[in-house]
Amino acid sequence: MAKEFGTLFLFLAGGFVLSLVIVFVNWLLRPRNPSSAKARTYECGLETEGPTWVQFKISYYLYALIFVVFDVEVVFLYPWASSFKSAGLVPFVEMAIFIGVLALGIWFAWKKGAFEWN
Amino acid sequence: MTEFLTTVFNLIQGILGVAPTTLALALPWMDIFWAFVYFVGAVILLIINVIMLIWIERRAAGFFQERVGPNRVGPFGLLQTVNDTIKLLGKEWIMPASADRMVFLIAPLLVVTVAVTMYGLLPYGPGITPVTLNVGILFFLAVSSTNTIAVLMAGWGSNNKYSLLGGMRTVAQIISYEIPMALSIIGIVMLSGSLDLGEIARSQSHVWYVFIQPVAFVIFTISALAELTKSPFDMTEAEQEFVAGYHTEYSGIRFTLFFMGEYANLFSMAALGVVLFFGGASGPWLPPWMWFIGKTYVFILFLLWIRWTFLRIRVDKMMKFNWKFLIPVALANLLVTGVGIKLWQHFVERSI
pLDDT digits (tens, 9 = 90+) for B335-346: 899 889 888 888
Work out how many domains chain B is built from and give that number. Answer: 1
Report the residue of A29, A41, A97, A98 to disrupt the B interface, i.e. the one with the largest count of B CBs within 10 Å: A41
Reported as a single tens digit per residue, the pLDDT across B89-127 is: 888 888 888 888 888 889 999 999 999 999 989 988 887
* Predicted pLDDT at B249: 82
* Predicted pLDDT at B23: 47
Sign of CA dihedral B122, B127, B131, B133: positive
Answer with the residue of higher pLDDT: B237 or A8. A8
Give me the percent of chain B exceeding a pLDDT of 90.
Answer: 23
pTM: 0.88
Count how many Cα atoms sit within 13 Å of the Cα of residue A80 in the half-sphere of its side chain. 21
Of A88-102, A103-117, B216-230, highest mean pLDDT: B216-230
* Predicted pLDDT at B94: 84
The pLDDT-based confidence of B25 (bands split at 50, 70, 90) is: very low
Q: Flag whether B48 is in a domain.
A: no
Q: Can you tell me the mean pLDDT for B133-152? A: 88
Q: Flag whether B111 is in a domain.
A: yes
pLDDT over 90 (residue B222) = yes
Reported as a single tens digit per residue, the pLDDT across B226-239 is: 988 887 887 767 66
* Predicted pLDDT at B30: 77
Full domain range(s) for residue B214: 96-351
Give me the percent of chain A exceeding a pLDDT of 90.
Answer: 10
Burial-class residue B58 by CB neighbours within 10 Å (0-12, 13-18, 19+). Answer: middle
Q: Flag whether B128 is in a domain.
A: yes
Residue B350: phi and psi, rounded to 5, are 55, 45
Q: Flag whether B84 is in a domain.
A: no
pLDDT over 60 (residue A19) = yes
CB within 8 Å of chain B, chain A residues 51-110:
52-53, 56-57, 59-60, 63-64, 66-67, 70-71, 74-75, 77-78, 81-86, 88-89, 92, 95-96, 99, 102-103, 106, 109-110
Answer with the residue of higher pLDDT: A64 or B28. A64
Going by C-alpha positions, the residue among B259, B276, B298 that lies closest to residue B123 is: B276
Q: Flag whether B119 is in a domain.
A: yes
Distance CA B206, CA B203 (A): 8
* Predicted pLDDT at B66: 87
Q: Flag whether B291 is in a domain.
A: yes
The mean of the pLDDT values for chain A is 83
Q: Can you tell me the mean pLDDT for A82-98? A: 84
The mean of the pLDDT values for chain B is 85
Shortest Cα–Cα distance, B28 to chain A (Å): 8
Q: Flag whether B193 is in a domain.
A: yes
Burial-class residue B124 by CB neighbours within 10 Å (0-12, 13-18, 19+). Answer: buried
DSSP per position, B61-108: HHHHTTS--S-SSSGGGTTHHHHHHHHHHTPPP---TTS-HHHHHHHH
Reported as a single tens digit per residue, the pLDDT across B246-298 is: 888 888 888 889 888 989 999 999 999 999 999 888 888 888 888 999 999 99
Give me the percent of chain A exceeding a pLDDT of 70.
Answer: 98
Chain A contact for B306 (CB, 8 A cutoff):
no
Chain B contact for A17 (CB, 8 A cutoff):
no
Chain B contact for A43 (CB, 8 A cutoff):
yes
Q: Can you tell me the mean pLDDT for B191-196? A: 89
Question: In chain B, what residues touch A12 (CB-CB under 8 Å)?
Answer: 113, 116-117
pLDDT over 60 (residue A43) = yes
Q: Flag whether B215 is in a domain.
A: yes
pLDDT over 90 (residue B219) = yes
Reported as a single tens digit per residue, the pLDDT across B29-47 is: 777 888 888 899 999 999 9
**How many other CB atoms sit within 10 Å of the CB of residue B78?**
15
The pLDDT-based confidence of B301 (bands split at 50, 70, 90) is: very high
Output the CA angle B296-B300-B301, nearest 5 degrees: 120
Q: How far is CA B32 from the centre of its chain?
A: 25
